[in-house]
């Protein structure tokens, strides 16, 4: 599995899934302007409590991302849920066939397969209703999704320069020689501003510029949970066609 000691990767190439809905379909006309800066994570999640969830030694970034998303959503809508690492590794094993005893089949996972498992089986007793995909080249849509749903599940092709920047506590930014792509990585974005956005990876917050995002991101999803729709300041209800979204989700569940 690609990565460095203490900083493993694990996202496979984007994979088509029939349950993937498109974000743009459910916006109500022209949505109201979003704030220029939004940081959902602030004061809700102890920044020292994000956790590695095994991604320091195995390629389960796609499942560690789910744990971090669950923490963020529940922190804002009730009592924070902090999944045990064992649950996250069990999720990764169920999806990929990874054997924790031998280390066999540590080959990573596709984000859409992980989202499908989260919907059908769940993590630590928590499931999602579904997910929507947005065009990652449309930064306005990405910001709208973060504002509406608290965050997005991002897939990137991670260059070696990003690992150097992480080790140096620097922002992920485009450099002339990025050292080549080390592999795919799945990370949650929980906020944005005019010059960039921020994610959680390898148990800590990491900043990135929009230029870096635009160059290396290859897929972007928002997860739909009933708790967030019902409780998070009414944002999703105000700006999304919830009736049509629920109808499509019910049709997919029946398929």
Model pTM? 0.88
pLDDT digits (tens, 9 = 90+) for 7-66: 899 999 999 888 887 877 777 666 657 778 877 765 566 666 789 999 999 999 999 999
Count of C-beta atoms within a 10 Å radius of residue 105: 12
Task: Answer whether residue 240 shows pLDDT above 80.
Answer: no
User: Percentage of the chain with pLDDT > 90?
Assistant: 55
3-state secondary structure of 67: helix
DSSP state letters, 194-227? SSEEEEEETBEEEEEEHHHHHHHEEEEEEEE-HH
Count of C-beta atoms within a 10 Å radius of residue 123: 22
Q: What is the pLDDT of residue 168?
A: 95
Domains of the chain: 21-254 (3.90.70.10)
| Dihedral angle of Cα 39, 33, 172, 82, to the nearest 10 degrees | 30
The first and second tokens of residue 169, run together, are: 């506590």
Angle at 122 between CA 222 and CA 221, to 5 degrees: 15
Q: What is the pLDDT of residue 13?
A: 93
**188 membership: H or E segment, kind and range:** strand 181-192
pLDDT digits (tens, 9 = 90+) for 89-109: 999 999 999 999 999 999 999
User: Percentage of the chain with pLDDT > 70?
Assistant: 82
Residues 6+ apart with CB under 8 A from 65: 114, 153, 186, 187, 188
């Amino acid at each position: 599995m690609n990565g460095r000691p203490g900083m493993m990767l694990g996202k496979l190439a984007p994979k088509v899934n029939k349950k993937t809905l498109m974000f743009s379909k459910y916006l109500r006309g022209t949505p109201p302007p979003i704030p220029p800066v939004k940081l959902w994570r602030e004061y809700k999640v102890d920044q020292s409590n994000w956790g590695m969830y095994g991604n320091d030694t195995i390629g389960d970034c796609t499942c560690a991302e789910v744990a971090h998303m669950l923490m963020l959503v529940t922190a804002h809508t009730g009592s924070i849920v902090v999944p045990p690492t064992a649950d996250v590794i069990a999720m990764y094993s169920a999806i990929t066939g990874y054997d924790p005893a031998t280390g066999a089949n540590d080959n990573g996972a596709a984000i859409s397969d992980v989202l499908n498992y989260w919907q059908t089986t769940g993590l630590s007793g928590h499931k999602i209703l579904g997910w929507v995909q947005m065009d990652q080249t449309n930064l306005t849509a990405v910001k709208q999704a973060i504002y509406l749903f608290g965050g997005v599940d991002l897939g990137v092709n991670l260059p070696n320069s990003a690992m150097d920047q992480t080790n140096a506590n620097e922002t992920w930014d485009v450099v002339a020689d990025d050292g080549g792509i080390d592999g795919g990585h799945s990370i949650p974005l929980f906020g944005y501003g005019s010059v960039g956005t921020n994610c959680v990876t390898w148990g800590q917050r990491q900043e990135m510029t929009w230029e870096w995002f635009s160059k290396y991101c290859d897929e972007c999803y928002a997860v739909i949970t009933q708790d967030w729709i019902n409780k998070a300041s009414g944002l999703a209800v105000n700006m999304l066609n919830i009736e049509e979204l629920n109808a499509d989700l019910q049709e997919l569940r029946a398929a």
